[in-house]
Amino acid sequence: MNDDIILQTDHLSKSFFKYQVLTDVNYQLMRGMIAAIIGPNGAGKSTFFNLVTGYHTVSGGNVFFKGQEITNWARHKIAKIGITRAFQVSNIYPKLTTYENVRQSILAQQKRTLNLFIPAERLAKQETLDLLEITGLSGFRNTEAGILSQGDKKKLELALALASKPDLLLLDEPTAGMSSEETHETMQLVKRLNKEIGLTILFTEHDISVIFGYAQKLSVLHQGILVAEGTPEEVRQNKEAQACYLGEEI
Amino acid sequence: MDKKYIFIKRFWLPVALFFIAIILPFVVSEFWVHVFNEILILGLFAAAFNLVFGYMGQLSFGQAAYYGIGAYTTGLLMVKLQWPLFACLPVSMLTAGIGALILGYFCVKLRGIYFAILTMAFGQLVFFIIFQWYSFTGGDNGLQGINPPEWLFKAIPYYYFSLAVVTIGMIILYFITESPFGYTLRAIRDNTERTEFIGINVQRYMLINFVISGMFCGLAGALWGPFNRSVAPDLCGWQHSGHPVFMAVMGGPHHFLGPMIGSVIFTFLNAFVTGFTEYWPLVSGLVIIVVVLVMPGGVFGIIKEKGYFSPRDVGDVKNE
């Protein structure tokens, strides 16, 4: 397998009982890229993420990460080898403070969570503050995460994923619930992380301006089938993509 | 914020309780010294149970099994092998921990009501083994003559011995709850799914915690035998597993001292009410109903709600 391919799926399929939600998806993502998977609701975008990250078991086909097969691995093992994700609906620790949320993820990455006797508050202070700073959450560090605004919860979701220092970051509608200003800030951060540390990013999104503004590669899913792939310009010109995505020109 | 202020804010209550516990035998009768000794032992039991309930978010209805294993280990070692009490305590923790490891291995595969039912089923299994094994455990007769050494024989010395052991146990438990491991338990409680996605093997952490909880339940059980001079299979039964549940709910499961405060309320009420009526379960049932309806977060929950503590109090003032 080509070393530049960070993620590859071969004939990846998923069915829930008799419903086929993903069919024979052959997908390749190159290292260091920002790519997006687009498609209407129910196209199978989140299912694709769920299969790659071990959230659902794969019904057919294989998933490879950096050349290693990871099909149906346990979620924590997939996270440990370098794939993390942010969820569509923010998935955080509502009773912990924003600071404690981020610290928890950092301590897990540093493999310090089995430490029984050093107070957690003494550990990973600077790393936590830095990550809160770059995700724009410093002002809320002592706020219980459950009462943050929807946009801030999404930022925290991103911070939790970033704290794991992944090689591949999957973002499921990262800007849903954010204002246009927050959307821009978040996507700028994503772009900066990609540029500065070479983080590979795969995201799903409905906001056309975000998709065409940031993605270097687009893949179009429709009813669980990968119908088109290419640069944003190529996809824009693709009649099949236009037909099944919005039913009109994109 | 000033470190000294944070320290005082965090620890004034446990320190005050500790000093009150020291002077109590000088101001109350021997009967009440017995009651307070019971409060300490059951408080440790409830605090150990609360590692699973309040911190990890799973309700165990079988922690009495490990309490009972600890009590029987000490009882058997002292009665049959004449071991000194001091040596029995760590061995009791070990046997209870092994029991929790074996039974917990299956329990941590489940969550919620299924976890609760399996812990209860295993608790009953331990109860029936002890109940039926006459030649070894004495069956339903239990074990008698578990006498502490002479210098601990009277109520007050044994009370201070219990106070010392329980205090050490509570300090260790406190450190655990404030450690990265303790926060991982909170993370599992708050959002198990997310915890897996940050790279944590949730089942493994749940098992480790179950074992730690079992060990400290065993330590509390080990203190009970010499205190009561006997042990009986009832100690392992599901009804006894309910006591730490009541205590944690009464005191407040989301506060480290909640179960100990719950033990004070529960045990004190028990001693007080049984002086007037035999219908103690009726009274305890009414108290639980009132607590659940009026203050669902327990005593500490209502104190927090009224704003006497910040949301991050007693061991939770952070990042100021």
What's the pLDDT tens digit per position in A9-32?
999 999 998 899 999 999 999 999
Q: What is the pLDDT of residue B320?
A: 33
Residue located via tokens 């620790």:
A93
Q: What is the pLDDT of residue A40?
A: 87
Q: What is the C-alpha to C-alpha distance for residues B304 and A95, in angstroms, rounded to an integer? A: 14
Q: Find all residues with CB under 8 Å of B165, minimum gap 6, and list them.
A: B44, B89, B219, B223
Neighbours of B158 (CB within 10 A): 21
Q: What is the C-alpha to C-alpha distance for residues B284 and A183, in angstroms, rounded to an integer? A: 55
Does residue B68 lie in a domain region? yes
Does residue B133 lie in a domain region? yes
How many structural domains comprise chain B?
1
Q: What is the C-alpha to C-alpha distance for residues B55 and B177, in angstroms, rounded to an integer? A: 8
Q: Find all residues with CB under 8 Å of A16, minimum gap 6, and list them.
A: none
Token pair for A104:
């928890």
Q: What is the pLDDT of residue A179?
A: 86
Instruction: Say whether residue A30 is in contact with chain B using an 8 A CB cutoff.
Output: no
Neighbours of A1 (CB within 10 A): 10
Q: A131 pLDDT exceeds 90?
A: yes
Q: Give A244's Cβ-side CA count (13 Å radius).
A: 19
Instruction: Say whether residue A109 is in contact with chain B using an 8 A CB cutoff.
Output: yes
Neighbours of B38 (CB within 10 A): 21
Tell me whether residues B191 and A164 touch, CB distance under 8 A. no
Tell me whether residues B196 and A75 touch, CB distance under 8 A. yes
Interface test with B, best of A53, A73, A75 (most B CBs within 10 A): A75
Tell me whether residues A142 and B186 touch, CB distance under 8 A. no
Tell me whether residues B198 and A142 touch, CB distance under 8 A. no
Does residue B17 lie in a domain region? no
Q: A112 pLDDT exceeds 50?
A: yes
- Domain residue ranges of chain A, discontinuous segments joined by +: 1-82+166-250, 90-165
Tell me whether residues A108 and B190 touch, CB distance under 8 A. no
Structural domain including B203 reads 34-263
Q: What is the C-alpha to C-alpha distance for residues A123 and A129, in angstroms, rounded to an integer? A: 11
A–B interface: beta-carbon pairs under 8 A: 108
Does residue B9 lie in a domain region? no
Q: What is the C-alpha to C-alpha distance for residues B37 and B299, in angstroms, rounded to an integer? A: 21
Residues of A in contact with B173 (CB under 8 A): none
Inter-residue contact A172 to A204 (CB < 8 Å): yes
Does residue B316 lie in a domain region? no
Does residue B259 lie in a domain region? yes
Assign a CATH topology to domain A1-82+166-250: Rossmann fold (3.40.50)
Q: Find all residues with CB under 8 Å of A194, minimum gap 6, and list them.
A: A32, A33, A34, A200, A201
Does residue B290 lie in a domain region? no
Q: What is the C-alpha to C-alpha distance for residues B184 and A113, in angstroms, rounded to an integer? A: 7
Cβ-nearest to A114 among B181, B187, B197? B181
Q: What is the pLDDT of residue B313?
A: 39
DSSP A88-136: SS----TTSBHHHHHHHHHHHHTT-TT--SS-GGGSSHHHHHHHHHHTT
Cβ-nearest to A119 among B179, B191, B202? B179
Tell me whether residues B197 and A53 touch, CB distance under 8 A. yes
Helix, strand or coil, per DSSP, at residue A86: strand
Q: What is the pLDDT of residue A123?
A: 96
In chain B, helix, strand, coil percent, each to 5? 75, 0, 20
Residues in chain A, overall count: 250
Cβ-nearest to A117 among B175, B187, B199? B175
Checking DSSP bridges between strand A217-222 and strand A200-204, what pairing results, if any?
unpaired
Residue located via tokens 């309930």:
B53
Neighbours of B81 (CB within 10 A): 9
Nearest one of A224, A202, A234, A240 to A49, comparing CA atoms: A202
Q: What is the pLDDT of residue B314?
A: 34
Q: What is the C-alpha to C-alpha distance for residues A245 and B16, in angstroms, rounded to an integer? A: 67
How close does chain B come to A171, measured CA to CA in Å? 13
Inter-residue contact A32 to A11 (CB < 8 Å): no
Tens-digit pLDDT profile for chain B (320 aa)? 577 888 888 889 999 999 999 999 999 999 999 999 999 999 999 999 999 999 999 999 999 999 999 999 999 999 999 999 999 999 999 999 999 999 999 999 999 999 999 999 999 999 999 999 999 999 999 999 999 999 999 999 999 999 999 999 999 999 999 999 999 999 999 999 999 999 999 999 999 999 999 999 999 999 999 999 999 999 999 999 999 999 999 999 999 999 999 999 999 988 888 888 888 888 888 888 888 888 888 888 888 777 665 544 333 434 33
Instruction: Say whether residue B179 is in contact with chain A using an 8 A CB cutoff.
Output: yes
Does residue B39 lie in a domain region? yes
Tell me whether residues A113 and B184 touch, CB distance under 8 A. yes
> Is residue B200 left, alpha or beta, with left meaning phi > 0 and alpha meaning psi from -120 to 50?
beta
Q: What is the pLDDT of residue B64?
A: 98
Tell me whether residues A121 and B312 touch, CB distance under 8 A. no
More confident of the two residues A250 and B85: B85
Tell me whether residues A79 and B198 touch, CB distance under 8 A. yes
Q: How far is CA B180 from the centre of its chain?
A: 22
Q: What is the C-alpha to C-alpha distance for residues B86 and B76, in angstroms, rounded to an integer? A: 14
Instruction: Say whether residue A127 is in contact with chain B using an 8 A CB cutoff.
Output: no
